[in-house]
Structure 1
Amino acid sequence: MGGTVSRIGFSKSKFKFSSSKSLSGKTVIVTGANTGVGFETALDLAKRNGRIILACRNREKGEVAKSRIIQLTGNTNVVFKQLDMSLMSSIREFVSIISTEEKAVDILINNAGVVNWKENITVEGFENTFATNYYGPFLLTTLLLDLLKKSPNSRIVNVGSIASMGGSVDLDTVMARRSFTRKEYNDSKLALLIFTKELARKIAETGIVATYVHPGTIRSELFRNLPWILQFIIIGIMRPFIKTPAEGAQPVLFCALEDSVEPGGYYMDCRLYDHTLWVPKSAYDEGLAKKLWESTERIVASCGTK
């Protein structure tokens, strides 16, 4: 059952995705679902009567989001689970709980993300931006693959950014232990894109569809760690060109629900943008992708284990 995409007003980048698809009997995990695009995505999916797991770092905000979604949708099958995507130990604990409580996972949306302007090293020794935006999604996704395989035609949606154009990925990058350069956001989003395409190749025979989506520039808490002058420029001066969280959720929903999405595809504005100027050539380097996967796998293999 396919959906339809319609343009919002006169904007060239704002679209509304409409679909009558029901998620009854389906289980969906949305990381960073307490605010912004994550909240709006979870809200829409809850209206489709699925079991929605809000995976959030902040317990208080997560519980508030849960109550609000239940109130707005009438769907009482919405639960909060604590998850800090910057900590591999938190991810392992989350997966352990999910594996015990859920028979299968139908949709995984790796939405949680962060931009840091100052160096922030986690207790596990990783740069916070890179850990949240890349290591976390890598580990969460690979640990949940068995549950995703138990659902026919399951989906993995990695929420990325057009900032991947300015990123670079090599063995030094993936280690993420170098001096802080303020390129970590760009690098992490490019790494996530390369990971998505390699993941799609590895799971091609399973029926799982993995995609990468740029939701647009959103008025959200993503920029909360930037200096106030940059926040003013992005959210204030550029306001007419910035999407609301509900508008930013549309391409994410498209990738989660639309039948026609292609495995490993790069989506933007509810359209496939592969092999355009927006996608770095390194995203198609299969040799680099294999090395990135192997390096990341070694790095996170024992991290967060007791």
Structure 2
Amino acid sequence: SFSPENLMWVHNDWILGAFDAASKRFAEKDLEVSVAGRSFMITGANSGIGKATAMAIAKKGGTIHLVCRNKDKAEETRAEIVKESGNKEIYVHILDLSETKKVWEFAEAFKKKYKTLNVLINNAGCMMTKREVNAEGLEKSFAINSLAVYILIKSLIPLLEKSPDPRVITVTSGGMLVQKLRTGNLQSQRGRYDGTMVYAQNKRQQVVMTEQFAKAHTNIHFSVMHPGWVDTPMITNAMPDFHHSMKERLRTPEQGADTVVWLAVSEAAVTKPSGRLFQGGRTQTHTNIHINIYI
């Protein structure tokens, strides 16, 4: 059967194998750098890929701004990073990315308080099992995965442009390859709600958004990356069957973070064209490898 759900499973299995090969090409020497004096904002930084990214960059001396929803978990993460890295320049910001007005207010306040932001890493995401709306009436998956990312980037561009070597990195998913961009049903109001496919559509939106921002702001290096399929709480909770069947093949959060860290700190990253999709330290042209199944 070529249902969206079955195709997603086939693609997930394929991308795991592809990433095993891609990860072997990763240039570790590119990561042998110090980023002391540079600041990094990471959303969803208290677990999974976000936490692994924060830890890796903190060990290289970077100033880290952890943007998290849960204060207790965020403070625990901060303490762990400080203890393991010896870097005390780790700051916690509490924000619910599903409330878009609060996202904008946070970004505007951040610009007033801090003089520089070198790298914005949009890592936070969600996969809903049923359609839910936030206090503003927006479908939550779209609000968190797409709209919050857009608002953060748009609001923080003036601060990024004033900072040396500015970069914006968004963590996407290979699942977006089973979706064409669809702008006619952004709130997922029509048809049956399939959280996996809505998530894949959001991730497609992130890739297109990155391309457009790169064209409009050529002095900032924009990139979007697929981390492979990683053993994170989101995969465990939202895709339990997939997690159970693929658990032995899933990447660790540290492995999932490798390309994020490379894009954030390496000199090699900014020699690549802005606006591209990356996996394993290499660019991928998503429009060429898209599976044309929704005609």
Q: TM-score range by the shorter chain?
A: 0.7 to 0.9
Alpha carbons of structure 1 residues 276 and 258: separation in structure 2 relative to 1, 3 Å: farther
- 1:270 and 2:281 are equivalent in the alignment: yes
Partner of 2:169: 157
- 1:212 and 2:224 are equivalent in the alignment: yes
Alpha carbons of structure 1 residues 176 and 11: separation in structure 2 relative to 1, 3 Å: closer
Query: Match of 2:111, SS?
Result: helix
Task: Decide whether the 8 Å contact of 2:142 with 2:187 is kept in 1.
Answer: no
Partner of 1:83: 95
- Equivalent residue in structure 2 for 1:201, among 211, 215, 222: 215
- Equivalent residue in structure 1 for 2:254, among 246, 267, 271: 246
Deviation at residue 262 of structure 1 after TM alignment: 2.1
Deviation at residue 168 of structure 1 after TM alignment: 3.2
Query: Match of 2:185, SS?
Result: helix
Query: Match of 1:40, SS?
Result: helix
- Equivalent residue in structure 2 for 1:143, among 152, 155, 175: 155
Partner Cα separation in structure 2 for residue 280 and residue 89 of structure 1: 35
Partner Cα separation in structure 2 for residue 154 and residue 280 of structure 1: 33
Query: Match of 1:109, SS?
Result: strand
Matched to 2:43, the amino acid is T
* Cα deviation digits, residues 118-177 of structure 1 (max 9, x gap): 111111111111111111100111000000001122100011011111223333233554
* Cα deviation digits, residues 239-274 of structure 1 (max 9, x gap): 232100000000111221233332001101221112
- 1:66 and 2:75 are equivalent in the alignment: no
Query: Match of 1:81, SS?
Result: strand
Query: Match of 2:93, SS?
Result: strand
Deviation at residue 224 of structure 1 after TM alignment: 4.7
Query: Match of 1:172, SS?
Result: coil
Alpha carbons of structure 1 residues 174 and 278: separation in structure 2 relative to 1, 3 Å: same
Task: Decide whether the 8 Å contact of 1:117 with 1:225 is kept in 2.
Answer: no
- 1:258 and 2:260 are equivalent in the alignment: no
Query: Match of 2:153, SS?
Result: helix
RMSD, aligned α-carbons: 2.0
Unaligned stretches of 5+ residues in structure 1: 1-9, 282-306
Alpha carbons of structure 1 residues 150 and 177: separation in structure 2 relative to 1, 3 Å: farther
Partner of 2:206: 192
Matched to 2:250, the amino acid is I
Matched to 1:88, the amino acid is T
Partner of 2:8: none
Query: Match of 2:110, SS?
Result: helix
Select the structure that is richer in helix: 2
Please report the TM-score for the alignment, with normalisation by the length of structure 2. 0.84
Alpha carbons of structure 1 residues 26 and 132: separation in structure 2 relative to 1, 3 Å: same
- Equivalent residue in structure 2 for 1:30, among 27, 42, 55: 42
Matched to 2:284, the amino acid is Y
* Cα deviation digits, residues 21-60 of structure 1 (max 9, x gap): 2221111100000000000000011111111000001111
Partner Cα separation in structure 2 for residue 97 and residue 275 of structure 1: 35
Partner of 1:12: 21
Number of residue-to-residue matches in the alignment: 266
Alpha carbons of structure 1 residues 278 and 67: separation in structure 2 relative to 1, 3 Å: farther
Matched to 1:193, the amino acid is V
Task: Decide whether the 8 Å contact of 2:130 with 2:194 is kept in 1.
Answer: no
Task: Decide whether the 8 Å contact of 1:33 with 1:56 is kept in 2.
Answer: yes
- Equivalent residue in structure 1 for 2:68, among 50, 56, 60: 56
Task: Decide whether the 8 Å contact of 2:177 with 2:286 is kept in 1.
Answer: no
